Structure 1
Amino acid sequence: MRRLNEDETLEAMLRSGKTRSADAEQLAAVLARFYSHAARVLIEPETYLASLHEAAILDWRVLLNRSFGLPHGTILRVASVQRRFLEQSAQTLIERVSRRLVVDGHGDLRPEHIWLTPPYPIIDCLEFNSRLRASDALDEIAFLHLECERLGGRRFGDAIRRRLARTLHDDPASGVFLFYRIGRAMLRARLSIAHLFDAHPRTPEKWPRLARAYLALAEADARQLKRLLAR
């Protein structure tokens, strides 16, 4: 057993601007192998669609709590696009479930859980909850892509996405990747601001700022997705 160097996480390397294209290629290869062999999760398409809708509703309800002072216009615009995608593109999502693209994955694939040193270990899989690990593999990569952009590493995230596009059946024209990114951004915004439900939250000034950053990313993606839906 050896101790992993915190300075070699993907998060630390993105913050310091030290990531390399070779790192993206190697990490993508690790992820491709993982998703190619990950156990498939059997779920009814209607159940999957309902879970996406219910998760979005929960995010909206918390984020629209007036005590948090978050931008309601932004939240409502994003929510409108999410709702529209679920209505217009339900069949696309159903086909992904039918093609058995929902896997028993990591559950919380963030840059802080990834090391950019051989063999590119990935830690903190949500072993305690199989339900939280069950998702479209493209959803997990959309989350990683979102976090890379938030940390200033959009190009690194783009490289990962390109390398995994065929493995994960990522069709940019479908809007699925954008939809998943929006969902993850809204979830992270909710989890961030929910810290203020605590009577004495640590670093209370941090959470509204972080929630707003995620909402800004969600709104930018929602504008792109809205244009795709209008075609």
Structure 2
Amino acid sequence: MIDLATKVRFLSDARSYPHAASFVVARQTHMSWVFLTEDRVYKLKKPVRYPFLDFSTLDRRRFFCEEELRLNKRLATNTYCSVVPLRCTHDGRLNLGGQGRTVDWLVEMKRLPRADLLDIRLREGVVTEADIRKVGELMAEFYSAAPPEIEDGNLYLESLIREQTVTRAILGQPRLGVSEAALPVLDVADERFTQLTPRIQARIEAGRIVEGHGDLRPEHVYIGTPMQVIDCLEFDRSLRIIDPYDEVNYLGLECAMLGAGWVRPVLLDLLEAHLGGRPDDEVLAFYGSFRMLLRARLCLAHLLDRVAREPSRWSRLALSYIGAAKEEFSFPSRPVRKLNHSHAGA
């Protein structure tokens, strides 16, 4: 039995790779180990099981590696290369893609220049409106080509209900230090959700829901050449069944968290020009608040690890997201504002 630590040690050694590599940088996430060489990235899924995913068996890890490759080929064809077996010979030596029994699977990708990821460009103030319009065009064409999810459209509504319930359960824990700020916002979000459910259901019945990216954040948008969107959410299809306006609105909000509030209206207007059927401002405000509260919850999930890394950072970031969720509703009772179209630095 080859344990995870042995695999990580092997993959952290530059000599392990079939192509020339002079260094390897290993990074750990909740779900994976990622190994970066000069021009390649290899992702090894951890053998973990959570309520929201199951990578606990070799067959499941292979399946989700293949899903990751298939799904990301939609928006990042040039970056996602293959699924590579990690094998062990009869004398216990590990190798990538060679002989022996398969002990794990990795996704192989080309390494993109980090400087051209949207989050980095936004922090450096070097994003133009033309860049954002290209992102909007790419996503609008992607959604336009996607078949409407009418039969499976209720997965979207079910995931909103499920995720909001989990978000309340986590943000409401006093020991995590944000419940006083979060609970009033959650109360308003739940009330608005109840009011708006018939409108969301009508969007499902009208064929407005598609299978999207599932995790559309600035750090997943590459604005080099060719423009690509990477790191699609592969482990739960129901989380990819989404209203395109929800997904693009979320990207705009994450850009606003980086100081670029002008991005969101540009993206939404482009999407409307391509797809039509824009939701009213109350629905968009709920979508935004839901996503910001979800992001706050995901920040706090780091505090639930056995060893919490940078706890003060995650608490501070969670409170920022809760503040953004509150702002979406012009909290507590002011009317929802129209999104403005002014921006700076474009």
Letter in 1 for 2:225: P
Structure 2: distance between partners of 1:100 and 1:54? 22
1:95 paired residue number: 202
Structure 2: distance between partners of 1:133 and 1:199? 29
Q: How does 1:165-204 map to 2 (within 5 A)?
A: 165-166=272-273, 167=275, 169-173=277-281, 175-204=282-311
Are the structure 2 counterparts of residues 107 and 212 from structure 1 closer, same or farther at C-alpha, using a change threshold of 3 Å? same
Give the structure with the higher percent strand. 2
Are the structure 2 counterparts of residues 21 and 182 from structure 1 closer, same or farther at C-alpha, using a change threshold of 3 Å? same
Secondary structure, aligned partner of 1:154: coil
1:162 paired residue number: 269
Give the structure with the higher percent helix. 1
Asked if residue 31 in structure 1 is aligned to residue 139 in structure 2, the reply is yes
Give the drift of 1:118.
Answer: 2.9
Matched-pair identity in %? 33
Structure 2: distance between partners of 1:177 and 1:224? 15
Structure 2: distance between partners of 1:83 and 1:227? 17
Which of 1 and 2 has higher RCO (CA within 8 Å, sep 6+)?
1
Give the drift of 1:77.
Answer: 2.1
Give the drift of 1:88.
Answer: 1.9
Structure 1: distance between partners of 2:176 and 2:194? 29
Q: CA RMSD in A?
A: 2.1
For the Cα contact (< 8 Å) 2:167–2:294, is it kept in 1? yes
Q: Which runs of 5+ in 2 are unaligned?
A: 1-77, 79-109, 337-346
Letter in 1 for 2:314: W
Q: How does 1:6-25 map to 2 (within 5 A)?
A: 6-25=114-133
For the Cα contact (< 8 Å) 1:179–1:225, is it kept in 2? no
Give the drift of 1:51.
Answer: 3.4
For the Cα contact (< 8 Å) 2:293–2:322, is it kept in 1? yes
- Alignment match of 1:139 (pick from 243, 246, 256): 246
For the Cα contact (< 8 Å) 2:154–2:204, is it kept in 1? no
TM-score (norm 2): 0.61
Are the structure 2 counterparts of residues 195 and 106 from structure 1 closer, same or farther at C-alpha, using a change threshold of 3 Å? same
Structure 2: distance between partners of 1:228 and 1:46? 29
TM-score (norm 1): 0.90
Structure 2: distance between partners of 1:120 and 1:158? 20
Secondary structure, aligned partner of 1:106: coil
For the Cα contact (< 8 Å) 2:155–2:241, is it kept in 1? no
Letter in 2 for 1:160: L
Structure 2: distance between partners of 1:109 and 1:208? 22
1:213 paired residue number: 320
Are the structure 2 counterparts of residues 130 and 51 from structure 1 closer, same or farther at C-alpha, using a change threshold of 3 Å? closer
Structure 1: distance between partners of 2:147 and 2:267? 21
Structure 2: distance between partners of 1:68 and 1:122? 33
Q: Which runs of 5+ in 1 are unaligned?
A: none
Are the structure 2 counterparts of residues 32 and 86 from structure 1 closer, same or farther at C-alpha, using a change threshold of 3 Å? same
Give the drift of 1:151.
Answer: 0.7
